[in-house]
Copies of this chain bind each other. A is one copy, B any other.
Amino acid sequence: MDKIFRVNMSNLTCQVEEVPEAWAGLGGRGLTSTIVAAEVPPTCHPLGPNNKLVFAPGLLSGTAAANSGRMSCGAKSPLTGTIKESNAGGTSAQQFARMGIKALIIEGQPQEDKWYNLHLTKDGATLQEEKELLGKGNFEVVDAVEARFNKKTGLITIGPAGEMKMEMANISVKDPDSKMRSHGRGGMGAVMGSKRIKFISIDDKDAPGVTVADPEKFKTAARTFAKALLDHPVSGEGLPTYGTNVLVNIINEAGGLPTRNFKEGQYKEHDKISGETMQETIAKRGGKFKHGCHAGCIIQCSQVYVDKDGKYLSSGFEYETIWGLGADCCISDLDAMAEIDNIMDDIGVDSIETAVAMGVAMEAGVLPFGDAAGIKRLLREEVAKGTPLGRIIGNGTASVGKAYGLTRIPVVKNQAIPAYDPRSIKGIGITYATSTMGADHTAGYCIATNILGVGGQVDPLKKDGQVELSRNLQIATAAVDSTGMCIFVAFPALDIPECLPALIDMINARFGISLTGDDVTDLGKSILKLERKFNTEAGFNSSHDRLPEFFNTEPVPPHNVVWDFSDEEIDEFWNF
């Protein structure tokens, strides 16, 4: 039977608890948000003893279902002040699930100025004081932990940014190659830092594994599901070949590629940073495209990006990172960006928040646009060392904008707006505005239907249908985020009729239940409403569901359009 692991950092105790009945049918985001909403006072300081950090694998994690290895991490976000769920690949979700850990809850705060590591086995958690690895980067932590235990030990860790409680600090999860996957957004690393846990090591020896109630039914559904993933042109072809970076040319063509801190919608050097160029470069140099962030991934949108001598530079080199450093900071050198990506993985910062913050720092004159070496220096010498400038940047985009008195600060609820301009791709603007977690493209990926023609076609330049589209996608995403599935299963789910039923069948076969499609939709709705209730109690209201003022007044080329939704139109989102 699955258990709840509860670690109290105030009195340094670890307990194994039964799963409350109300939580039994939940996983991933559904579970982390439920636990946070139930146990965290919405008005608490996110870095204080009353916040809790919750990890939960998805409902299908640990099974043979393709792409089900995402781990959810939840807390009250120090960046946004809202409830937050952030999910990541890596090995930990499958380990947790096989070890019977339904959720890990870390609460309280040490009284003394000491740091700890947390070790998990199937039987429980243990805390030890940690001294050796304080201040170290994530890659050094991986090496040291593998040396202390063994190569197969799972790892969840924070870099120096998390230790310093920077609001753009992520939590890193070891992937099958001993590289890093990230709970990127919302500053979850700062929450882990506030609990004074440097890392969590996971030994899944003798894990009982996941029991599937109806193995035959599961196998059939899993096969149908996997076929749908492989058959869809986006998840079966575009993503495996070019990675998420397939989008640079597409979004540039659409005029929605935010450039020079959101001044323009097209980047003249887009070719140099495109997925096509990246794929060619990787192929020529003998790196790897088609690479998974977790075992069982069959989309394989990751890659191993190597330098011209074939030496590892980065993996999980995402479109949003490349857009942010590339178009938004006007850098056209993929190698330099890969190196920066690797530094970000090492010090443990969200690559979107960091890149957008750098774009704002460039507008502020802290460094010139296009200065890749400057970004490396800022990350290594300022952020990683916690200098004053490093702390300004380390607290993210809004922090930089405020420090330098700017007004063009692309954030919603204090979180950086990612790689799609909401003026020229209006659907995603509704998602940024209304998401329960600040600007977040993954919360309701309207790009699918606005640009990629997935799930139908809604004109990106028109307002018609966008609120409904974002609403439907946010509801679906909240449910998908609860399964342990990667968000990209949404592409076939939207277009291939057998896909979604197969996903539901897998859940039913796994637990011996009989959810319907409506049940799944209801789950998504209830998660969103639960999250919004938390936010409301934390002080948020509809006036926070707005984009920054400059999007209303500053037209973006080439379409020269502004963000033109009225407050009333945006607020329609919550009518469900």
Contacts and interface: CB of A to CB of B under 8 A. Distances in A.
A25 interface: no
Interface stretch (A97-105, A172-180, A493-501, A540-548): A540-548
Contact of A403 (B193, B391, B539): B391
A404 B194 CA distance: 12
A166 interface: yes
Contact of A43 (B194, B537, B549): B549
Contact of A541 (B167, B194, B541): B541
Contact of A166 (B387, B399, B405): B405
Interface stretch (A44-52, A67-75, A242-250, A301-309): A44-52
A538 interface: yes
Interface residues of A, number: 36
Contacts of A48: 407, 549-550
Contacts of A543: 43, 537-539
Number of copies of this kind of chain in the complex: 2
A164 interface: yes
Contacts of A167: 402
Contacts of A50: 549
A20 interface: no
A392 interface: yes
Nearest to A544: B539
Contacts of A389: 388
A399 B471 CA distance: 35
A449 interface: no
Q: 9 closest Cβ contacts across the A-B interface?
A: A165-B405, A388-B389, A539-B543, A388-B388, A391-B403, A48-B407, A45-B407, A45-B549, A47-B407
Interface of A: 43-45, 47-48, 50, 164-167, 190, 193-194, 387-389, 391-392, 395, 399, 402-407, 537-539, 541, 543-544, 546, 548-550
15 contacts: A43-B546, A43-B549, A45-B407, A47-B407, A388-B388, A388-B389, A388-B391, A391-B392, A391-B403, A391-B404, A392-B392, A395-B402, A395-B403, A399-B402, A399-B403
